[in-house]
Chain A
Amino acid sequence: MQTEIVLAGFGGQGILFAGQLLAYAAMDSGKEVTWIPSYGPEMRGGTANCTVIIADEEIGSPTVRNPKAVLAFNLPSLDKYEPMVIQGGVLIANQSLINRQVQRTDIVHVMIPANEIAEEIGDKRLTNMVMLGALLHKLPVLTLEAIEKTLEERLPARRKHLLGLNSQALRRGAEFAQREPAYSV
């Protein structure tokens, strides 16, 4: 049994970090995990993305064509990855930077104004945590507590003061997703 999650957006949105946080939390929870970035030249100016695979057994391919979940942080990422989500999978789309609706009707999706929520909490850089919180509500592959524990253990001392904000962002994302009806078949 394995879960594949693609995080996609543009540079500076904390895509790779959010993916690494998932990977660390998965490892700390005793699971097998692979994190792989797209490291091609498209990283400069275009979409930045990474794939995280969390599993109970040895992981084969580090990438898959049809992931179980996608976090689309901007419109180009939604355009690219919406068709890829596996049937019955989960799509979290950042409404703040996306001016269209999700077309698929055979997946669970959440349109979340992640930038605005992050700004309400006090820092736009928390967008990735809001998105992650929404994901983990719809796809409970790890608990929010597991993410928080990993943050607490692995954030360097000089960043420890950000723990509370990160935690708030995760929880606000999850709460938003909870209020959203599940658009699923």
Chain B
Amino acid sequence: MARELLEGNMAMAEAAIRAGVQAYFGYPITPQTELLEWMAKRMPELGRAFVQAESEVAAINMVYGAACTGVRVMSSSSSPGVSLMMEGLSYIAGTELPVVLIDVVRGGPGLGNIAPSQGDYNQIVHGGGHGDYHPIVLAPASVQEAVDLVVLAFDLAEKYRSIVVVLADGNIGQMMEPVELPEMQPVERPIPDWAVRGCEGRGRRVLSSIYIKPEEEEVTNLRLLQRWQTVQDNEIRYREYFMDDAEIVVLGYGTAGRIAFSAVRQARAEGIPVGLFRPVSLSPYPYAQVKAIAQRAKAMLVVEMNTGQMLDDVLRAVEGKVPVEFYGRLGGVVPYPDEILDEIRRIARGPISIGVDPRQAWMKRLSQLIMN
């Protein structure tokens, strides 16, 4: 199939359309607006539902309602808008509905700015709305991967009756790259046996997140957890580069991961035995794979565009078996590959500090860098 040059936001929107999304509800926010714009044009053309809601709160509740009918439904937003959606997402999780959300993260907290950031890792991967649930979270590093993951997101959402978040950032949303789009899937699919869309000739179905008796909520929470175990067993995804003989392993996801890839490739050219491990599923997180790397690597370097949020997951998997270092840029600042290359060289030269909090050590280095 011919490649097309597409901007990330538009490519993700078109991927959702090809995956058979039947309803889109959203509200504009930079750096994600082109996604909604594409939907505004394409969805009515195809006779599908598009609503620009009056707010993100309204949009996510429209998503909630549409999801109850068993159709493929999604929304998209960027950090502050996603914060507004959290109550609705929790209700969706409690009602066990398949929903896809694309979050094109920008610098924060607060109004922040519109630059690319990974500051919402904890919010999306570990936090989110209230209550005991886990969303599936997928992090693309290129426009093609964003397309592929959006399609996968709909399948996983339906398979596990789960929220699936595609966690991108402003770079992924705004850059143009060649992509192969998937074939257009048929919109008509079997109606799930839990969907509510009129009960003529059959018994009543109820979809709700209300379990007023704690004993019943406990059963529900346990069911969610059991389902999550299945997700953990089956849906771990990651990419590895130069890992065969790597003594130093760099870990990064999304944009930080692909920037690290440039640095790793250059370090390899200098003869440094370094590899890259790029988690694609952030939830479920590839703990076992990171743990296995810690058994054989001499040192690890976590690279993020935040203050070390995934770092905590890496440290949890590593269990102190190997020195872990951290490098991050903050608030919408995107690192250049040479910054990461310098870190790799420093680690390769040694000595690597053991027993030092990687975040504390990095804070000192970053303070020097920023103040100069």
- Looking across the interface, which residue of chain A has its beta carbon closest to that of B259? A61
Contact between A60 and B258, CB atoms less than 8 A apart: yes
- Looking across the interface, which residue of chain A has its beta carbon closest to that of B30? A39
Contact between B174 and A36, CB atoms less than 8 A apart: yes
- A143 at interface (Cβ–Cβ under 8 A)? no
Contact between B262 and A35, CB atoms less than 8 A apart: no
Contact between B177 and A35, CB atoms less than 8 A apart: yes
Residues of chain A with a CB closer than 8 A to B337's CB? 60-61, 64-65
- B176 at interface (Cβ–Cβ under 8 A)? yes
Expressed in whole angstroms, the minimum distance between the Cβ of B200 and any Cβ of chain A is 50
For window 52-85 of chain A, which residues contact chain B by CB distance below 8 Å?
A: 58-66
> How far apart are the CA atoms of A66 and B262 in the complex, in Å?
13
What count of chain B residues pass the 8 Å CB interface test?
A: 27
- Looking across the interface, which residue of chain A has its beta carbon closest to that of B115? A40
> How far apart are the CA atoms of A40 and B174 in the complex, in Å?
11
Question: What per-residue 1/0 map shows which CB atoms of B1-20 lie under 8 Å from chain A?
Answer: 00101000000000000000
Contact between B176 and A35, CB atoms less than 8 A apart: yes
Contact between A27 and B171, CB atoms less than 8 A apart: no
For window 112-145 of chain B, which residues contact chain A by CB distance below 8 Å?
A: 113-115, 142
What count of chain A residues pass the 8 Å CB interface test?
A: 22
A20-B336 contact in complex given A39-B31, A60-B262, C-beta closer than 8 Å: no
Residues of chain A with a CB closer than 8 A to B265's CB? 60
Which one of A33, A58, A60, A66 contacts B259 once the chains associate, using CB atoms below 8 Å? A60
Expressed in whole angstroms, the minimum distance between the Cβ of B37 and any Cβ of chain A is 14
A27-B175 contact in complex given A40-B115, A61-B258, A62-B258, C-beta closer than 8 Å: no
Which one of A32, A34, A37, A65 contacts B338 once the chains associate, using CB atoms below 8 Å? A65
Expressed in whole angstroms, the minimum distance between the Cβ of B258 and any Cβ of chain A is 5
Contact between A34 and B177, CB atoms less than 8 A apart: yes
> How far apart are the CA atoms of A175 and B324 in the complex, in Å?
54
- B25 at interface (Cβ–Cβ under 8 A)? no
Expressed in whole angstroms, the minimum distance between the Cβ of B275 and any Cβ of chain A is 14
Expressed in whole angstroms, the minimum distance between the Cβ of A68 and any Cβ of chain B is 14
Number of A-B residue pairs at CB separation under 8 A = 66
Contact between A34 and B175, CB atoms less than 8 A apart: yes
- B334 at interface (Cβ–Cβ under 8 A)? yes
For window 29-49 of chain A, which residues contact chain B by CB distance below 8 Å?
A: 32-37, 39-41
Contact between B5 and A62, CB atoms less than 8 A apart: no
For window 308-366 of chain B, which residues contact chain A by CB distance below 8 Å?
A: 334, 336-338
Contact between A36 and B258, CB atoms less than 8 A apart: no
> How far apart are the CA atoms of A20 and B142 in the complex, in Å?
17
- A10 at interface (Cβ–Cβ under 8 A)? no
Residues of chain A with a CB closer than 8 A to B258's CB? 59-62
- B261 at interface (Cβ–Cβ under 8 A)? yes
Contact between B178 and A35, CB atoms less than 8 A apart: no
- B170 at interface (Cβ–Cβ under 8 A)? yes
Contact between A63 and B178, CB atoms less than 8 A apart: no
Expressed in whole angstroms, the minimum distance between the Cβ of A131 and any Cβ of chain B is 20
For window 227-268 of chain B, which residues contact chain A by CB distance below 8 Å?
A: 255, 258-263, 265
- A176 at interface (Cβ–Cβ under 8 A)? no
Residues of chain B with a CB closer than 8 A to A60's CB? 258-263, 265, 337
Can you give 9 contacting A-B residue pairs, CB < 8 Å? A34-B177, A36-B171, A58-B261, A59-B177, A60-B263, A61-B259, A62-B171, A65-B336, A65-B338
9 tightest Cβ-Cβ pairs between the two chains A and B: A60-B262, A60-B261, A61-B259, A35-B176, A61-B262, A36-B175, A65-B336, A27-B178, A61-B337
Residues of B at the A interface (CB closer than 8 Å) are 3, 5, 30-31, 113-115, 142, 170-171, 174-178, 255, 258-263, 265, 334, 336-338
- Excluding A39-B30, A39-B170, A60-B259, 8 further A-B contacts by CB distance (< 8 Å) are A24-B5, A35-B175, A40-B114, A40-B115, A60-B258, A60-B260, A61-B258, A61-B337
